[in-house]
Amino acid sequence: YIHIINKADMAASKGLKILVGCKRVIDYAVKVRVKPDRSGVVTEGVKHSMNPFDEIAVEEAVRMKEKKLAGEAVAISVGPPQSQETLRTALAMGIDRAIHVEIPLAQLEKLQPIHVSKLLAKVCESEKPDLVILGKQAIDDDCNQTGQMLAALLDWPQATFASKIEPSQDSKQLRVTREVDGGMETIDVSVPAVVTSDLRLNEPRYATLPNIMKAKKKPLAKMSPDQLGVDLQPRQEVISVEDPPVRKAGAKVESVEDLVGKLREKGLVK
């Protein structure tokens, strides 16, 4: 699949078309509880909201529209019926229209980034965005894979952990500053490209009630994985989900002899 954008000066063109991915996850402030049967975490009746890194992605798309760098911003979410609420939040923040790829409940728990990236790739074939912005990772599974996999499937360049996105010096590419171990890296990528958002990319606006109400009028299209021809066969099986081990209290020692004595007691030293 090849999509070539007119490499004219970005400032003069109609603006980029941006596709933003949003995931519905358990709210970041909720105290997550493991189910007694250790098959997963409790989600029934638990507050859910948009993945915080996806909020940052949505905010960036809206800001690029405000700066006239982008012409159209479309939000997409792969998930259960309630993902529509997540999309409505994106629309309330300033996204133009939304796409909901609805996943039947039975397949929801087994959904992995490999499936999501394939679904997104299929949508990119028809939507033909110039830029896809995703959150760098979801706070529920912390996979940090979907953006990278999507770029590979589309054979597009990727700029992950973005803390700044701007036109390049010659305005023909995007200059992305990335947060990497030990500092920042600035790269130029040609469009179309996949970018994943990091924490310091921007501060997302709050979707107030009046904006949520206005968002109800914006278009929201529904799609199914079958329509997109993507197989959702799970590649992984969750064996068990458990609480992290409780940290045992440490013990303070007065001298080296004490330390060696304690280590001997525990059989760690002969």
- Contacts with other proteins by CB under 8 A lie at 28-29, 52, 139, 163-164, 179, 184, 199-206, 208-210, 212
Q: How far, in Å, CA of 140 to CA of 67, rounded? A: 32
Give me the helices (H) in 70-229, please: 83-93, 105-108, 113-127, 146-154, 209-215, 225-228
CB of 56 to other proteins, least distance (A): 9
CA 255 to centroid of chain Cα atoms: 50
Q: How far, in Å, CA of 265 to CA of 270, rounded? A: 9
CB of 203 to other proteins, least distance (A): 6
For other proteins, which is the closer residue by CB, 156 or 161? 161
CB of 171 to other proteins, least distance (A): 22
For other proteins, which is the closer residue by CB, 110 or 205? 205
For other proteins, which is the closer residue by CB, 142 or 237? 142
CB of 211 to other proteins, least distance (A): 10
For other proteins, which is the closer residue by CB, 97 or 205? 205
CB-based contacts of 126: which residues, under 8 Å, 6+ apart? none
CA quadruple 26, 30, 31, 37: dihedral, nearest 10: -30
For other proteins, which is the closer residue by CB, 50 or 120? 50
CB of 5 to other proteins, least distance (A): 27
CB of 238 to other proteins, least distance (A): 22
For other proteins, which is the closer residue by CB, 36 or 206? 206
Closest CA to 61 of 152, 145, 165, 159: 165
State the burial class of residue 123 (Cβ atoms within 10 Å of its Cβ: 0-12, 13-18, 19+): buried
Q: How far, in Å, CA of 15 to CA of 222, rounded? A: 26
For other proteins, which is the closer residue by CB, 117 or 202? 202
Q: What is the 3-state secondary structure (H, E, C) of 234-268?
A: CCCCCCCCCCCCCCCCCCCCCCHHHHHHHHHHCCC
CB of 200 to other proteins, least distance (A): 4
Task: Indicate the DSSP class of residue 206.
Answer: P
